[in-house]
């Protein structure tokens, strides 16, 4: 799986910390609230796997416990309003395919903001399904190397039922099917691996190779999208040549 370079990985390798702390907490709070609502009101992370993932992500960014609890309570009350999940698709500059996942209480506002960025960057805002077929949903688990070789990581991943492993600078990306995701994550934890992040992600079926020079325009576009408060995740098939 060499060459894997979706936006979250590019950000991790760049060490990007562009988001303000408050904005990051807002995004995490919305993710937690959505997880509770989509999980039928179950507020126990051990019984609501999506909530567990959201809470783990919040803790990884040192989000205060009271903020987490507030987001959970909000999901059970009227203050959650019309918060809902929205997915947008389109083509960034250089023809790079993009999928944007958002949590919004005002889809019309969010759509207008995203469309504006597409238009100004020279991209093409697409209809539902216009690029979704170019991505597969997978489970992605990022772990610290902590002295383990690629062979070590691959052996542990294979034993847990994972499908593939990719080596980064000081981490490994472990990929699994959505069905096996929860089990693989639990087995890796039991094996002593330090999990940095884990989520259900969208993996490109094929990549669009862009030169280093032209990729700056694409990355600038992705950064502008991510700066929107409503945006949760961005996936692209960008591969920098």
- Band (76; pLDDT cuts 50, 70, 90): confident
Q: Which of 48, 88, 107 is nearest to 72 (CA)?
A: 48
pTM for the model stands at 0.85
DSSP letter string, 118-156: HHHHT-EEEPTTTTGGGEEEEEEEEEE-TT--HHHHHHH
Distance CA 46, CA 226 (A): 30
Q: Which of 82, 27, 50 is nearest to 181 (CA)?
A: 50
> Which phi and psi angles does 130 have, rounded to 5°?
-70, -30
- Band (168; pLDDT cuts 50, 70, 90): confident
pLDDT for res 11: 56
pLDDT for res 79: 63
- Cα separations (Å) of 185 from 38, 52, 158? 21, 12, 12
Question: CA angle at residue 171 from 91 to 13, to 5 degrees?
Answer: 40
Q: Which of 43-52, 64-73, 80-89 has the lowest mean pLDDT?
A: 80-89
pLDDT for res 32: 95
Distance CA 68, CA 25 (A): 9
What is the token pair recorded at 99?
């999928």
Strand partners of residue 231: 102
Q: Which of 10-19, 119-128, 177-186, 232-241 has the lowest mean pLDDT?
A: 10-19
- Band (16; pLDDT cuts 50, 70, 90): very low
| pLDDT(6) > 70 | no
> For residue range 189-211, what is the model confidence (pLDDT) as tens digits?
999 999 999 999 999 999 999 99
- Cα separations (Å) of 136 from 10, 130, 140? 19, 14, 12
pLDDT for res 92: 97
Question: What structural domains does the chain harbor?
Answer: 1-134+206-241 (3.30.70.980), 135-204 (3.30.70.980)
In this predicted model, which residue has the larger pLDDT, 174 or 5?
A: 174
Q: Which of 15-19, 56-60, 167-171, 214-218 has the lowest mean pLDDT?
A: 15-19
Distance CA 170, CA 40 (A): 38
What is the token pair recorded at 221?
């576009």
| pLDDT(184) > 60 | yes
Q: Which of 86, 92, 127, 123 is nearest to 105 (CA)?
A: 86
Mean pLDDT of the chain: 89
- Band (80; pLDDT cuts 50, 70, 90): low
pLDDT for res 81: 65
* Helical packing angle, 65-76 and 21-38, nearest 10°: 40
Start-to-end CA span in the chain (Å)? 16
């Amino acid at each position: 799986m060499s060459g894997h370079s979706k936006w979250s990985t590019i950000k991790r390798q760049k060490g990007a910390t562009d988001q303000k702390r408050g904005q990051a907490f807002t995004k995490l709070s919305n993710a937690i609230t959505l997880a509770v609502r989509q999980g039928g009101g179950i507020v126990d992370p051990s019984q609501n796997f999506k909530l567990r993932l959201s809470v783990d992500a919040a803790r990884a960014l040192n989000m205060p416990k009271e903020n987490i609890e507030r987001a959970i309570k909000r999901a059970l009350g009227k203050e959650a309003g019309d918060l809902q999940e929205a997915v947008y698709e389109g083509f960034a500059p250089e023809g790079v395919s993009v999928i944007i996942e958002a949590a919004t209480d005002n889809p019309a506002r969010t759509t207008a903001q995203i469309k504006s960025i597409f238009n100004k960057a020279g991209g093409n805002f697409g209809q539902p399904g216009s690029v979704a077929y170019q991505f597969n949903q997978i489970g992605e688990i990022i772990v610290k190397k902590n002295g383990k070789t690629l062979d070590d990581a691959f052996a542990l991943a294979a034993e847990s039922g994972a499908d593939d492993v990719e080596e980064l600078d000081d981490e490994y990306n472990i990929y699994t099917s959505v069905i096996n995701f929860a089990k693989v994550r639990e087995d890796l934890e039991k094996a002593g691996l330090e999990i940095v992040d884990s989520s259900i992600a969208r993996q490109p079926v094929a990549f669009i190779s862009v030169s280093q020079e032209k990729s700056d325009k694409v990355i600038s576009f992705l950064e502008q999208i991510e700066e929107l408060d409503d945006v949760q995740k961005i996936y692209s098939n960008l591969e920098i040549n």
